[in-house]
Amino acid sequence: MTIPHALEQRVEAYCSRLPHEKWRRLYRRCALSTWETALRPQEDGTVFVLTGDIPAMWLRDSAAQVTHYLPLSADPEVGAVIEGVIRRQLMYITIDPYTNAFNPSPSGGGWVDDLPDHGPWAHERKYEVDSLCYPIRLLYLYWKHSGNDTLIREKLEEIAAVILNVWRTEQHHPEQSPYWFVRPSDYPPVLPCEGKGNPVAYTGMTWSGFRPSDDPCTYGYLTASNMFAVVVLGYMAQMLREVCGNESLAAQCDALRAELNEGIRRHCIVEHPVYGPIYACETDGMGHYSMLDDANVPSLLSIPYIGYADATDPVYQNTRRFLLSSENPYYFEGAYARGIGSPHTPSRYVWHLALTMQGLTAATAEEKREMLAMIAATDGGTDLLHEGFHVDDPAVYTREWFTWPCSLFAEFVERCVDEGIVE
């Protein structure tokens, strides 16, 4: 797509304030990557967003891919694209709120052998709490940046009712949920117990089948995703009250928000022998925990970024020290990088998403600059960011075309410039 003048001006303005040519070149390409390569306007006025080298639109990825364009929401060209993305996301949620990735049309593409039959719109149907969080976050931030409340008035009450129903149902997953997932063919069932997942007890939290990496949860209550839901329910309540005047739905959001938050406080904080009280990655409400973090967002590392708690929160600080240590089984160090990877990629692969998130949540200018330098030195000579890369050889990486880390990096660079720490 043609780059709008307002976007070109914004990118050049930030480039002019970066001190190194490599940083300027990397920021420019990353900031424009989604716009230049991933947007596909549709005849109905919506916008389909390719995640990159997979021909599908993830609800999570697509929201994150355009978030760094939000400051330009008042520009007619940019605002129309963001609104088009949100309209398509909300359309998809009404089609099936349990689907994480969609086809551009009801073509039946994607993982066609997955069970149960997921219909022609779904590319794959891995239920993830964050897939319902991200579109609402994007809608809220678009409203705050642009002042445009048309979508809220037209769509939010319907969408809020759908999301509340799913999250309420999944508070009681074993007893009430219709959701199960099995991937046959050459794969074992992705979720155990005939696709229903490992047993869980009631905690007040809402169940998730999969992490933001699209990998299965070991235990069904994913801490960071429940935290994200707490934040998003606050956004929904505010929009329902201030724009829609719907106190009943807003009160339902408030009530569920309180239940999720209480579940997090009671079940997700564990005592670590070195770091003290920290957040576990997952729990089943029966005393079992996953003690790790994954590079994808929401993550435990991203808690301040998603807005659940301040970066100075003591439990977050303890958790962060754990995550950025060898105690986290997916923390790796090598000749070129040190940071968080993922079970989704091989051992000793660090993700640019995690390095960028470490910078976005860093407390000091020194750590932010360190992350900028590390990211710029590990693009494999491509002037673009990737999924995971080997800590000893950045030219060995996954995902040639994956614009989510590029977009998040552009957001990070702009924050660093605005804070005056790179000039």
349 in the same domain as 325: no
CB of 348 within 8 A of CB of 389?
no
- 182 part of a folded domain: yes
335 in the same domain as 325: no
Residue 210: the pLDDT is 97
Rounded to whole angstroms, the Cα distance separating 165 from 98 reads: 12
Q: What is the pLDDT of residues 300-313, one digit of tens each?
A: 999 999 999 999 99
Domain boundary among the residues 329, 361, 389 is at: 329
CB of 63 within 8 A of CB of 135?
yes
248 in the same domain as 169: yes
372 in the same domain as 268: no
CB of 353 within 8 A of CB of 398?
no
137 in the same domain as 238: yes
Looking at the structure of the chain, the number of domains it has is 2
Domain boundary among the residues 286, 301, 329 is at: 329
Rounded to whole angstroms, the Cα distance separating 65 from 404 reads: 5
Query: In sequence order, which residues have a C-beta less than 8 Å from that of residue 104 and are 6 or more positions away?
Result: 40, 42, 48, 55, 57
Q: Which residue has the tokens 């940083």?
A: 23
- 101 part of a folded domain: no
243 in the same domain as 382: no
CB of 206 within 8 A of CB of 167?
yes
- Residue by residue, DSSP assigns 23-49 as HHHHHHHHHHHHHHHTEEE-TTS-EEE
- 121 part of a folded domain: no
DSSP 3-state assignment of 386?
A: coil
Rounded to whole angstroms, the Cα distance separating 279 from 296 reads: 16
Residue 198: the pLDDT is 98
313 in the same domain as 345: no
Residue 423: the pLDDT is 76
Provide the terminal-to-terminal Cα distance of the chain, rounded to the nearest Å: 31
401 in the same domain as 270: no
Enter the tokens of residue 220.
Answer: 């069904």
- 117 part of a folded domain: no
269 in the same domain as 233: yes
CB of 66 within 8 A of CB of 85?
yes
254 in the same domain as 357: no
- 165 part of a folded domain: yes
Q: Which residue has the tokens 């929904």?
A: 236
Query: The domain spanning residue 288 has which CATH number?
Result: 1.50.10.10
Enter the tokens of residue 76.
Answer: 């007619």
How many CB atoms are closer than 10 A to CB 417? 18
- 99 part of a folded domain: no
**Local confidence pLDDT in tens for the 423 residues of the chain:** 899 999 999 999 999 999 999 999 999 999 999 999 999 999 999 999 999 999 999 999 999 999 999 999 999 999 999 999 999 999 999 999 999 999 999 999 999 899 999 999 999 999 999 999 999 999 999 999 999 999 999 999 999 999 999 999 999 999 999 999 999 876 666 899 999 999 999 999 999 999 999 999 999 999 999 999 999 999 999 999 999 999 999 999 999 999 999 999 999 999 999 999 999 999 999 999 999 999 999 999 999 999 999 999 999 999 999 999 999 999 999 999 999 999 999 999 999 999 999 999 999 999 999 999 999 999 999 999 999 999 999 999 999 999 999 999 999 999 999 999 987
Residue 184: the pLDDT is 87
Q: Which domain holds residue 294?
A: 58-94+129-329
- 239 part of a folded domain: yes
288 in the same domain as 162: yes
Query: In sequence order, which residues have a C-beta less than 8 Å from that of residue 150 and are 6 or more positions away?
Result: 83
207 in the same domain as 223: yes
Residue 188: the pLDDT is 66
Domain boundary among the residues 313, 329, 345 is at: 329
- 156 part of a folded domain: yes
